[in-house]
């Protein structure tokens, strides 16, 4: 069995890669989903967040107001670290449970979709790492167009994450998402075929697919 991590900066197209692989039969453990579960209404994680950041991070229904919390943490690295110390351990616990279930089901390859892989130093825990990249301006345009952010908010979110170079340093394969879906899908297929055929000793080859 091969355990692979997928990562990429915000608006790089990581979700498109994850969706494509899931649709082609790969078992995907989505850490974004686990992160939402970790701070769901009534959870211990949400209780810790309220204790740390105040009632202002809740909406009228008592669930997490992500926009309000984001406004606090993405402009202050120290506050972001406080949030990470609450959320990351719980996400790792939930991911380990999902991994055990996938192993028990006999999955030959398990893909962990982890947005903050480089930031949390988890790369070495996997047999291979697949990194998705996109040009900075493209990512900013996507966040402004698709997520309703201002340019300043988009730049702040990017700055709060690892750099492209930091992600490249842990990559086995790199997919550059700077074209159309047809081209992206071809690049995913090539990169994935290389990963599943790689011997364990050769998984940090840092090959970039832009063809």
Tens-place pLDDT, residues 127-177? 999 999 999 999 999 999 999 999 999 999 999 899 999 999 999 999 999
CB-CB contact of 192 with 21 (8 Å):
yes
- pLDDT tier for residue 1 given thresholds of 50, 70 and 90: confident
Which pLDDT score, from 0 to 100, does residue 198 have?
64
Q: Please state at what angle helix 66-73 crosses helix 77-104, rounded to 10 degrees.
A: 120
pTM to 2 decimal places:
0.84
Q: What is the pLDDT of residues 79-94, one digit of tens each?
A: 999 999 999 999 999 9
pLDDT for 74: 86
DSSP label at residue 13: S
Give the chain's largest Cα–Cα span.
52
Average pLDDT, the chain: 92
Q: Which CATH number fits the domain that encloses residue 70?
A: 3.40.50.300
Range of the domain at 109: 2-209
pLDDT bucket at 42, cuts 50 / 70 / 90: very high
197 confidence band (pLDDT: 50, 70, 90): confident
Q: What is the mean pLDDT of residues 55-61?
A: 96
- Give the residue-averaged pLDDT of 187-194: 96
Q: What percent of the chain is predicted at pLDDT more than 90?
A: 89
User: 118, 166 in Cβ contact below 8 A?
Assistant: yes
Beta-sheet strands, E only, within 107-158: 109-113, 128-133
Dump pLDDT digits (tens) for 118-131.
Answer: 998 999 999 999 99
Scored b (16 or more CB within 10 A) or e, 61-88 reads eeebeeeebbebbbeeeeebebbeebbb
Q: What is the pLDDT of residue 201?
A: 45
Tokens of 21: 């692989």
Give the count of domains, the chain.
1
Q: What integer pLDDT is reported at residue 97 of this predicted model? A: 95
pLDDT value at 179 more than 60: yes
What φ, ψ does residue 35 adopt, rounded to 5°? Answer: -65, -35
């Amino acid at each position: 069995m091969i355990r692979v991590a997928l990562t990429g900066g915000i608006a790089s197209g990581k979700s498109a890669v994850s969706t494509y692989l899931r649709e082609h039969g790969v078992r995907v453990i989505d850490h974004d989903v686990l992160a939402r579960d970790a701070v769901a209404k009534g959870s211990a994680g949400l209780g810790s967040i309220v204790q740390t950041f105040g009632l202002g991070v809740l909406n009228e229904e008592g669930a997490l107001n992500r926009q309000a919390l984001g406004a606090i943490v993405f402009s202050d690295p120290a506050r972001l670290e406080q949030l990470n110390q609450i959320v990351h351990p719980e996400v790792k616990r939930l991911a380990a449970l999902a991994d055990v279930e996938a192993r028990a089901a006999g999955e030959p390859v398990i893909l962990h979709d982890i947005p903050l892989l480089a930031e949390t130093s988890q790369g070495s825990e996997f047999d291979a790492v697949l990194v998705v990249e996109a040009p900075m301006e493209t990512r900013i345009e996507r966040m402004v167009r698709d997520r309703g952010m201002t340019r300043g908010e988009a730049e702040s979110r990017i700055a709060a994450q690892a750099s492209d170079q930091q992600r490249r340093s842990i990559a086995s394969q790199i997919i550059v998402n700077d074209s159309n879906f047809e081209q992206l899908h071809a690049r995913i297929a090539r990169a994935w075929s290389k990963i599943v055929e790689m011997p364990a000793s050769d998984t940090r080859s840092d090959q970039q697919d832009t063809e």
